[in-house]
Amino acid sequence: MKYKELIEKMTLEEKASLMSGKDFWQSKDIERLGISSMFLADGPHGIRKQAAAANHPGLNVGIPATCFPTAATVANSWNEELGEKIGEYLGEEAIAQKVNVLLGPGVNMKRNPLCGRNFEYFSEDPYLAGKMAAGYIRGIQSHGISACVKHFCANNQEERRMSIDTIVDERALREIYLTAFEIAVREGKTKAMMSSYNRLNGTYTNENMHLMQDILRGEWGYKGCVITDWGGSNDRVTGLLAGNELEMPSTAGESDQEIIKAIKSGRVKEEVLDECVDRLLDLIFTTEKAYHRPHTEFDVEKHHRVAQKVAEEAIVLLKNEDNILPLKFGKKVAVIGDFAKDARYQGAGSSLVNPTILDHTLNCFEESGIVSIGYEQGFERYGKKNEKRIEKACELAKNADVVLLYIGLDEVTEAEGLDRQSMRIPENQIELLNALYEVNQNIVAILSCGSAVEMPWIDKVKGLLHGYLGGQAGARSILRILSGDVNPSGKLAETYPIRYEDTPSFHNFPGGEASVEYRESIYIGYRYYDTANVDVLFPFGYGLSYTTFEYSDIEVNKYGVTFKLTNSGSVAGMEIAQLYVHSKSTDIFRPKKELKGFVKIFINAGETKTVTIPFDDKTFRYFNVKTNKWEIEGTEYEIMIGASSADIRLIDTIFIEGTGAPVPYDKELLPSYYLGKASNVSAEEFENLIGHTVPISQWDRTKPLGYNDTIEQCQYAKGWVARLAFHLIVFAYWFLKKIGKRSSANIIMMSIYHLPFRGIAKMTGGAVNMPMVDGILMIANGHFFKGLSHLLRERNNMIKSRKQKKL
């Protein structure tokens, strides 16, 4: 142990105290031993440190910070170095705000387009997500502070996220849902990891010994800290045994007492606690050193310009019929759409940043050189229909050469704690587009949203520019693409299906009441669409440019692939070349192609460059469930170089020696997986894959409610008070939405409706303890007077106990 001498000076109570938060955002300190508290802040794309007291759950406005493009946006740049640069600037701002641990990046897979938090995640592909995350981490930690990669793991939906049980086969877990975390640990060398709320195959993630010990600590050799998601601790002692150092937020010392009791009873050896303390101390002391160096406030203007550069490189040109873009000099444009006036630039929830500067389209026209003849709102932001706005927009559009139509999803549609209800953009925006098409067919749509949407209207636009959520400088960045000052170079980090029903997880999202089954296994995103030959709207890796690129002269050897890339157009630009690999063997089911490398390269018009993409330890591997380790099939592999997953330009083959592992599957029992048609797998076939029966996915309504049951389950509680409370919560949600307070309605759904009863104690900073929760559960289970008496008695006991400690 690194801090053995210091730990030997601590009492058992002091050691246990370090294992939970001091308040909502800080770890505990021990003044007599020179151990300071750490400040942890949200920050996947900008520092969210609120000016209010640290015991507040983070609903206040944060201190101004640069709002960079979200992870979903930056992933479209396919530029690891750019990710590292963002990390460096995030780290610099964290230092300025005295933050030790930055809670990000998020590397969960985009299993389904409707996940409400997809805007915070990089990709449907674990290799791309992992590489981008590693860049962020290196940048953040270059300042001495810590990144905290989240949410570990298989947290791919927001509905019932604190109680849902994710049922996934071991191979899909390793190849799809853990690979990005593995890259973050091994290449990014993250100092901290955040465990997710959900169960994984029956066990809460931060208590899961297979996940936390066998894989994270054992296989990956992780030496850093594991921090719970806020309120995500279930059994504190079981979590400690699994190697979970820090429970957040504060429980006012209640869980510390559970640890002390477990050690005194012999359930836990004190050496286990010492190891956890040692790892936490290392995080405290190494991040504290960052504040011993002289530092100044960050340069607001400079960081804003960096945010603009990032957005410019991440914007994706999806359609450019008749070369309508870039806009020709002197063309008169009509600017239409509410998002042109008030930019949609970030998501909602814990990642909400208070920007230092905020560009809006209407304020940036003069410098862009684009001639605007006027602006009309066109539609109500939150979906209300308004015929007069459409009429005014059409009158303006009649007089324009080109219509710039700003459409997308609003702030409360994509939010933490809630999944989207559909893949469509609001109907009132589509009605506006249809009306505009009748008067002017030269329409360029500028799309603002953080995740994939359906586009049945795409034939009515000549140009489509997807800005995703471009941060505080996104509006200006889009204008620079439209004007031709910048050549677009972004490519999609996720597939856009034609219809939501085409997605491989359609039949199994968001799952049942108690569990969600990942029956599609390894076939998510393009892995499914390409293998099952399902047509898509825009494939993974797709994006247009104002120039063209030619690929030639492929050469493959055991170290990697080399080829030539020529800018065959008339404009300098950047191209993202992608390496995909396919095993020619049919012994083990595998996708038609898998991303195994990529490079982004700038090439002047007419120039040719030689490009090399090396192979690495992930190029040919697969996880063998029979040997329980990574293996390589001895066979021929197709090496494909493409401009997207559907646009393969060069192909060669190479034979790779295998590890000689036995075939892990019986092909006869898994026909859907061997055919790649895994969108609607039967329960029987899925059970053949996972090797056991699937758990019942419905709640047991005959049992009394317990700690891990949710407030939502009060609808069938025996106690009338609980049922009444449920209906009041539902009414409050409906009423707030009705009067336009959608953000407040979302908070009810996120913070109350899906909250497990234990969360009442875990998320209230000690205002309610677990014995008081026992009283609440008695009331919910039909014992009103007994429960109320217990609740009041335990509250008095808690108050008396705290008064005695102060004395």
The residues annotated with a catalytic role in the active site are: 229
What is the Cα–Cα distance from 351 to 48, expressed in whole angstroms?
7
Peptide bond between residue 671 and the one before it cis (omega within 30 degrees of 0): no
Phi, psi for 587 (deg, rounded to 5): -70, -35
What is the Cα–Cα distance from 372 to 396, expressed in whole angstroms?
11
- DSSP letter string over 122-165? --S-HHHHHHHHHHHHHHHHTTT-EEEEEEETT----TTTTT-E
Q: Tokens in use for 210?
A: 């297979």
Residue type at 803 in one-letter notation: K
Q: Tokens in use for 455?
A: 């586009």
> Contact at 8 Å (CB) between 319 and 463?
yes
3-state SS, residue 727: helix
Residue type at 143 in one-letter notation: H
- DSSP letter string over 176-202? IISHHHHHHHHTS--SEEEEPSSEETT
What is the Cα–Cα distance from 72 to 52, expressed in whole angstroms?
29
Please say whether the dihedral angle defined by the alpha carbons of residues 575, 543, 527 and 180, taken in this order, is positive or negative.
positive
The enclosing H or E element of 762 equals helix 757-762
Task: Tell me the helices (H) and strands (E) count for the chain, helix number first.
Answer: 25, 26
Count Cβ atoms within 10 A of the Cβ of residue 610 and give its class: 0-12 exposed, 13-18 middle, 19 or more buried.
exposed
> Contact at 8 Å (CB) between 105 and 147?
yes
> Contact at 8 Å (CB) between 791 and 775?
yes
The enclosing H or E element of 608 equals strand 608-614
> Contact at 8 Å (CB) between 220 and 211?
no
| 3-class SS shares of the chain: helix, strand, coil, % to 5 | 35, 20, 40
Count Cβ atoms within 10 A of the Cβ of residue 328 and give its class: 0-12 exposed, 13-18 middle, 19 or more buried.
exposed
344: left (phi over 0), alpha (psi -120 to 50) or beta: beta
What is the Cα–Cα distance from 275 to 242, expressed in whole angstroms?
11
